[in-house]
Structure 1
Amino acid sequence: MGTIILALGLVLIFEGFLFVIAPDRVEDLLEHFRQMPVEARRLVGLIALTVGLALISMALALA
């Protein structure tokens, strides 16, 4: 359970940091995603999910 809380905290820090340093760029990125076809957004999500799982696996293997 502690790992899940840590992961959520890291996500919130990262996303908050993006909104602090470049809020206009975040809006541009969201608009770009809105214009993408649904299948392309799913592919981006699948890639992000895969990379995230790989990073978690690596972190757990190193711990």
Structure 2
Amino acid sequence: MLDTLLLAFGLMLILEGLLPMLSPRRWRSLFEQMLQLQEGQIRFFGMLMVVFGLLVIWLLA
């Protein structure tokens, strides 16, 4: 179980690092746009990511 969790964490780090590595200007622009969002918008986006992640895990498990 721990191995799978660490593998998933490693994959997440790879995916999260692709945009800043390949296009740092675009990443900076996206990050600046995210800073302009209201807290409720950020929470909603986070909730969507959690629900989507749970859906993917449910479909694959």
| TM-score bin (small chain) | 0.7 to 0.9
Deviations 1:16-51 (A, max 9, x none): 211111111111111111101100000000001110
CA distance in structure 1 between the aligned counterparts of 2:32 and 2:44, rounded to whole angstroms: 17
- Partner in structure 2 of residue 50 of structure 1: 51
Secondary structure of residue in 2 paired with 1:10: helix
Normalising by structure 1, what TM-score?
A: 0.84
- Structure 1 unmatched runs, 5+: none
Normalising by structure 2, what TM-score?
A: 0.87
- Partner in structure 2 of residue 9 of structure 1: 10
- Structure 2 unmatched runs, 5+: none
Give the CA deviation at 1:6.
1.2
TM superposition outliers: structure 1 runs of 4+ over 4 Å: none
RMSD of aligned alpha carbons: 1.0
